[in-house]
Structure 1
Amino acid sequence: MIKKMAALSAVSLLIGSLTLCTGFAFSDVDARQATINENIPNETSHANEITVTIDKINDDVNKVTLSRGQKLNAGYGMDINTIHFESNGQAVITYTLRNPQPDEAYAEVITEAKVVTYLSSKYKPVAEQAVAQVPAPAPSLADSISEMMNKQIKELFELVKKGKVPDVAFAVHTNRIDEVRQAWGPADTQKSLGNGLIYDSFNVKHTVIGYNKGSQIFEIQSSLPAIQKWNIQRIELMLGKPTDTKVGQDSSIYIYAANDQFQLKLVVMNATGYVDHLSVLSPKDAVDIMEQIN
């Protein structure tokens, strides 16, 4: 019995000693952690405060350091955008700040977020945060379509200068109707004006080709759906006022002289103001060649 009591007393003393030791150990950790926390800079206070430090390199040059202080990790930083040298002797340094990105991992080490530059000692550095650039709004679908049509009209006029219209490989004055038939096959319809001038219609191509008795092409008409989305206001905005205008009951013809050889003719419906069809014309070739030869 005495031996059992002695053993229990020994165990109690041992447990008490462990408790005391354990208590001291935890207290020591808490104390050291508190010391560390006191040394960590507060991220919320003076978060965007920038200090400018000037260190003389020599009589002519200074080292200028912009700092946003100590940060908890390497994800913080700053960059110099521009330096403007003012007539009042100031060098205005614009900067941007870099902050940690949510999906990036950074070393958890206290780091000073700073950037350094060198300036003439004649200037006093002044730091200014760069104004955030607001991105321009994306163009709307209507704006994109409008811009596309403007581009098409400009491209059309360049083609007309060569005797061509969009999506047709043949050119007025240069090609002959035989070449067209060889490539496209026979015309769907044919119409003669009675003065040696004939028009062949190719419906699938939205194209009508006029040629003289010598088979020389003098006009190519196009009624592509894209062309019929243009109105005369847009055309005049892109090409200016027409050289000549012929007003009819249902439609009007607007004529633009592209050069000495070719004209652009636009047939516009009076009721809507939109193009029905257009053509490139060579007036010099719109004659009965065979009659001239005879």
Structure 2
Amino acid sequence: MKHNQQKRGFYSIPLTAALLIPLSLSACSSNASPQPEASPTPAASATTAPTAAPTPSPSETAPAPSTAPGGTGNTDSKASAELKSILALARKGEVKGSEFAASTDLFDEVEQKWGKPDKQESAGKGMYATYSKQKITFGFNKGMKIFDVRSYAASLNQYNATTVKQALGEPADTTVNGEDTIYTYPAGDFQLKVVIPESTGLVDHISVYSPQDAKNNMAG
């Protein structure tokens, strides 16, 4: 009986050891497995970062070329519109910057509202009164009726003869007075005169002229 117990105990020791060895190996393998699982996660997140950076740059540069080509065309059309508006006012005997019209208003009315002129002198078929602040000169006859309204606005100085002709066409008459070339355009009962000195080649002033009122006599 003792012999059998010793024999049974002898076999139980290696059997236990044999069971423990694979368990320890499996434990080692399970402890090692989580290390490679963490490595793929940063690799996937790194690929998303560079894709967001380049997208805003092309959209910012896109509008830049679109504004350049239309510059000169817009300037020409603006000049043409302004000169045509000058001719439209001339058909009513008016210039921009003056509420008083040729053939309609009397110079007495101008003095009542604007005060005495800065300069007044006899010229041609009547008297001419200049208001420096308004850059307006009125020509009036002995009956005080206004027959000529002139504007010396600085905005006129940007136009040359080519610009004027492109906007208004060829003038009905071209005359030279000293160094001034005068382009005359019909405007209903009035004439629009565009005066360009040779020294500058740019418009110096315009005149809205009423031929029927340019008489050196008393009204009535």
Structure 1 length-normalised TM: 0.53
| 1:184 aligned onto 2:111 | no
1:243 maps to 2:172: yes
Cα distance change on mapping 1:163 and 1:234 into 2, 3 Å: same
Counterpart-to-counterpart distance in 2, 1:134 and 1:191: 55
Task: Give the C-alpha shift of residue 275 in structure 1.
Answer: 1.6
CA 1:212–1:19: 2 relative to 1, 3 Å: farther
CA RMSD of aligned residues (A): 3.8
Map of 2:68 onto structure 1: 138
Structure 2 vs 1, CA of residues 287 and 18 (structure 1 numbering), >3 Å: closer, same or farther? farther
| 2:11 equivalent in structure 1 | none
For residues 54-81 of structure 1, what are the alpha-carbon distances to aligned partners after superposition, in whole Å with 9 as ceiling and x for unaligned? Answer: xxxxxxxxxxxxxxxxxx9xxxxxxxxx
Structure 2: which amino acid aligns with 1:272?
T
- 2:85 matched to which residue of 1? 155
Shift of 1:258: 1.3
Q: 1:284 aligns with which of 205, 208, 212?
A: 212
User: What residue ranges of structure 1 are gaps of 5+ in the alignment?
Assistant: 1-12, 38-42, 44-71, 73-98, 104-131
Q: Give the Cα–Cα distance (whole angstroms) in 2 for the partners of residues 258 and 177 of structure 1.
A: 22
CA offset at residue 276 of structure 1? Answer: 1.8
1:217/1:19 CA distance change after superposition, 3 Å: farther
Percent sequence identity over aligned pairs: 32
For the pair shown, the structure with the greater C-alpha radius of gyration is 2
Is residue 265 from structure 1 mapped to residue 184 from structure 2 by the alignment? no
Residue in structure 2 matching 1:211, options 116, 134, 140: 140
Superposed displacement of residue 273, structure 1: 2.4
What per-residue deviation string (whole Å, max 9, x for no partner) do you get for residues 128-163 of structure 1? xxxx99963425876665544333212211111221
Q: TM-score, normalised by structure 2?
A: 0.69
Alignment of 1:224 onto 2:166: no
* Letter in structure 2 aligned against 1:172: A
Match of 2:32 among 1, 11, 23: 23
Q: Quick check: which one's helix share is greater?
A: 2
